[in-house]
Amino acid sequence: MKKSMIAAALILFTCVAAQAGYRTEVTVTPGKDAHQYVVQFNIMDVDNDGKTKVLDTPLIVVKAGKEGTVSLAKETGESGLFCTALVSETEIGIEAVTTVVVKENGTEKLSTAQRITVKK
């Protein structure tokens, strides 16, 4: 990756999605090593008055081309927070695909996927 691209943008991109009382933000930044990226998730519950409560802020450090996952769940896996991130370096730039799933008692309350490309 070009040094000028890293120097030009410390934060490559932030994705925001909202669904059924939840809001998610995902920020991707270059890591300290070559071809490494830090993916910070911010999952919030939004009440009817628009007030937000942060549910969790998991972080994944991934190498380009390798998928990273984090699960914050009860042992049964029927309730919890599940996040994945895959960052790819392409000829035109950087592409990230992220997913966030929130389950309560076996029911998906939130399921969102985002794909963002940052061109060189």
Q: Where are the domains of the chain?
A: 3-119
Mean pLDDT for the chain? 83
- Per-residue confidence (pLDDT) for residue 14, from 0 to 100: 61
pLDDT at residue 6, rounded to an integer: 37
Better-predicted residue by pLDDT, 4 or 82: 82
Q: What is the dihedral of CA 17, 99, 54, 109, to 10 degrees?
A: 80
Q: Is the pLDDT of residue 54 over 60?
A: yes
Looking at 1-120, list the stretches that DSSP marks H as alpha helix, in order from N- to C-terminal side: 3-8
User: How far is C-alpha 73 from the geometric centre of its chain's CA atoms?
Assistant: 17
pLDDT tens per residue across span 5-44: 433 344 555 666 555 588 888 988 899 999 999 999 999 9
Hey, what are 106's tokens? 């076996």
What is the arithmetic mean of pLDDT over 66-83? 89
Q: Integer distance in angstroms from the first to the last C-alpha of the chain?
A: 9
Q: Which two tokens stand for residue 65?
A: 């081309």
With beta carbons less than 8 A apart as the criterion, state whether 110 and 55 touch. no
Enter the tokens of residue 45.
């519950």
CB 5 within 8 A of CB 110: no
pTM, whole model, 2 decimals?
0.79
User: How far apart are the C-alpha atoms of 77 and 82, rounded to whole Å?
Assistant: 9
